[in-house]
Every structure is written in structure tokens, then in C-alpha cells.
Amino acid sequence: MSLVVVGSVAFDSVKTPFGEVDEVLGGSATYFSTAASYFTDVSLVAVVGTDFPDKHLTFLKSRKIDIEGIEKSEGKTFRWKGEYGFELNEARTLDTQLNVFQSFRPKLPESYKDKKVVFLANIDPDLQRDVLSQVNEPALVACDTMNFWIEGKKESLLKTLKLVDILLINDGEARELSGEPNLVKAAHIIHDMGPRTLIIKRGEYGALMFQDNRIFSAPAFPLEAVYDPTGAGDCFAGGFMGYLSSTMNFEEAGIRKAIIFGSVMASFNVEAFSLDKIKSLDYKEIENRFQDFRRLTHFEDLT
């Protein structure tokens, strides 16, 4: 099958204790699409400025990502600049220039409207609902959000959440959205908002899945070298949604497996700056790390 993603394509400038890059390819939809493209066909909806070089569009097409939905508008492309300390858990934003992204109003090409799997990346919840109004009977809808929308447009976000099957957010966002510090209790509150499945991304501590009264916990993969966590959550979402799109198995067992594939893609992403690691993976590398995850979490039953 195939999926459609709506989000940002941007230029990132990032500094970590292990290096620095300036105006490299980034954006939530870029990371998501690249990770998902190893599992399924991806259709990308975003906006870029007239300063966006053709080489980046060529790269996306090389991953067999459909870029018909990328609009080029007069002006500059969205830019973000951030810095990480040694803990690498959270970036300190130094500068954000929305540019053409500020007036972005997603318009899905006709060929995108029958896609059965939809991912709404971190954009205004009003726009997320507008995108859904353009899709014909999707089988699965998932979305991401952030503290900015939780604090500034919560009522609009709650309307969006009534329409989605899966919500992927980090632990801080789950606590703020629910008003509950305990993640188990927070999950119950968020379930009542609409999403049947809640995935909580916890960075170096892995991920949690809450579905009905069931909980699944996946660790983060232990790595010797972590250079840049930018886009890790988006790569997790891309691997997760890409795998679900490839199987169309939305039952608990399928979602658990998708979480591991999401964790695999996130683990590769942090091993280099920007998309340098995940843009040229061999699928065998992905399979091997998936098996490493299996061994990492395997234990025998009580006897």
C-alpha cells in the first residue's frame, strides 16, 4: 500500500557536542518520508521556497517519494537552528524562521486523495483537519503534535484527536495534554479524547504503547555513537507508519512490530547529522538491527 504525509520540509542548522552543520536538509516530513520509504510508497505534502535546491528534490525522488504534493512558493524555505548539550535529550531552539511555511495551506493532489494511510505531522491542528477533509475514507489516520499547539490551540487539537486512530507524542507532551504526570493515567485520559492507540516517544528511554488496557514497552537501542538526535522522533514515526502501511495489519501484534521498526529507524538516524545515515541504508541493515532488538529484549519464561 502507500501513505500520505503532511508536514514540514526545512533547512536545519544544528550544533551538538560532537559537531555542527549549517542549513542541511531537515523538517518533520522529510525525516518521516525518508524513513517510511524503506517500507512503502510515500506521498509527501509540504511547501518550500524558491531558494530550495533541486538536488534535495532529486534525493527525495531517488527514495521513490512522490513529491507532486510539494508546493514551491515565492520566498524562503522554513529554517530552524538548535543546539544540544551532552545529554542530547532536548534541543535548545536558537532561531526559527517559518518563512513560506507560515502561510502553508496543504492541498492534496487528486492522486493522493484515495491513500488509505495518512500521517499528520506536527502542524496547526486546523490544517490537520483540513487535510483529513480532503482524503477519501482512509483506513488509518495518525498524527503528531507539540506543546505549542497544546498550549495555544488545545480546543482545535481536541477536535482533531477525535478523528485520529493513533497519536504519537513525547512524554512531556502527553503529560501536558492530559494534565496528568503519571503516564499510565495520562494514557487513559488521552484515550477518552479519541485515539484508540497512544504511542509515547521517550528518547533514550524507548517508547510506550497504550491500547485499551494493554501496554507495550520497547527500549531504545544502545549505541556507541550518538551525534545528532534531530529528527529521531520523525524517523520513528516514519518507520512505524511505513511498516503499518506495508502490511495493513493494524491489530496489536502488528502495531508492536511497527514500534520496533520505528525504533530501528530512529536509532540509525541519531548516528549521523541530518539524513546522512538513513538516506542510504541497505534494507538488510534494517533487518539486522530489528533482529538485534529481538535479542535485546528476549528472555525465557519462568520454569
Whether 147 contacts 172, CB under 8 Å = yes
The pLDDT, as a whole number, for residue 115 is: 95
CA distance 14 to 19: 8
Coil/strand/helix, residue 119: strand
- Answer yes or no: CATH 3.40.1190.20 is held by domain 2-296: yes
Return the C-alpha cell found at 285. Answer: 541493515
What local confidence, expressed as pLDDT, does residue 50 receive?
A: 97
| Cα separation values, 14 from 77, 80, 179, 190, Å | 16, 8, 32, 33
* CA torsion, ordered 114, 117, 121, 124, to nearest 10 deg: 50
Look at residue 2 in the predicted model and tell me its pLDDT.
87
Nearest to 202 by CA among 243, 158, 232, 166: 232
- pLDDT computed for residue 303 by the predictor: 74
Q: Which residues of the chain have pLDDT under 70?
A: none
Angle ∠(147,175,223) on CA atoms, nearest 5:
85
Give the list of residues 6+ apart from residue 217 with CB closer than 8 angstroms, or none. Answer: 206, 207, 208, 209
In the structure grid, which three cell numbers stand for residue 299, read together? Answer: 528472555
What was the pLDDT predicted at 90? Answer: 80
Residue 200 CB neighbour total at 10 angstroms: 24
The predicted structure's pLDDT at residue 86:
86
**pLDDT value at position 78?**
96
Q: What's the CA gap between 175 and 153, in Å, rounded?
A: 16
